[in-house]
């Protein structure tokens, strides 16, 4: 999985029928501190994530292992909202202290 921040949303009315009702979020990769770095993907939300939140997303066939995405043409899914990240015992990111 990769860590990223939800930075936007995509609206698409003309799409595969089985994509109806899915929320399509733009996620930009971040480091363990929540700082944006290169790499963006559009991921389906399966956990109620919103713009500004730090999330984990899974790619490839693993993105279809949620009830929202099963058997659908979806290659990225947000499967967790990050509370905190620690590195060598030090907290590098905490949702409660995230100004975004």
Helix (H, G, I), strand (E, B) or coil at 99: coil
HSE-CB at 21 with a 13 A cutoff on CA atoms is 7
Of 80, 71, 82, the closest CA to residue 46 belongs to 80
Rule CB under 8 A: say whether 72 interacts with a copy of itself. yes
Closest contact distance (angstroms) between CB of 78 and a copy of itself is 9
Query: Which of 35, 36, 50, 65 lies at the binding interface for a copy of itself (CB under 8 A)?
Result: 65
Rule CB under 8 A: say whether 64 interacts with a copy of itself. yes
Residue 53, C-beta contacts closer than 8 angstroms, at least 6 positions apart: 5, 6, 81, 82, 95
Rule CB under 8 A: say whether 31 interacts with a copy of itself. yes
For a copy of itself, the binding residues (CB under 8 A) are: 1-3, 7-16, 18-19, 24, 26, 31-32, 40-43, 46-48, 51-52, 56, 58-66, 69, 71-77, 79-89, 92
């Amino acid at each position: 999985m990769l860590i990223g921040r939800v930075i936007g949303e995509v609206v698409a009315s003309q799409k595969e029928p089985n994509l109806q009702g899915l929320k399509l979020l733009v996620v930009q990769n971040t480091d363990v501190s929540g700082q944006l770095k290169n790499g963006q993907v559009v991921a389906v939300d399966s956990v109620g994530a919103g713009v500004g939140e730090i999330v984990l997303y899974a790619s490839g066939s693993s993105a279809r292992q949620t009830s929202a995405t099963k058997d659908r043409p979806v290659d990225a899914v947000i499967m967790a909202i990050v509370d905190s990240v620690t590195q060598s015992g030090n907290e590098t990111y905490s949702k409660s202290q995230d100004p975004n």
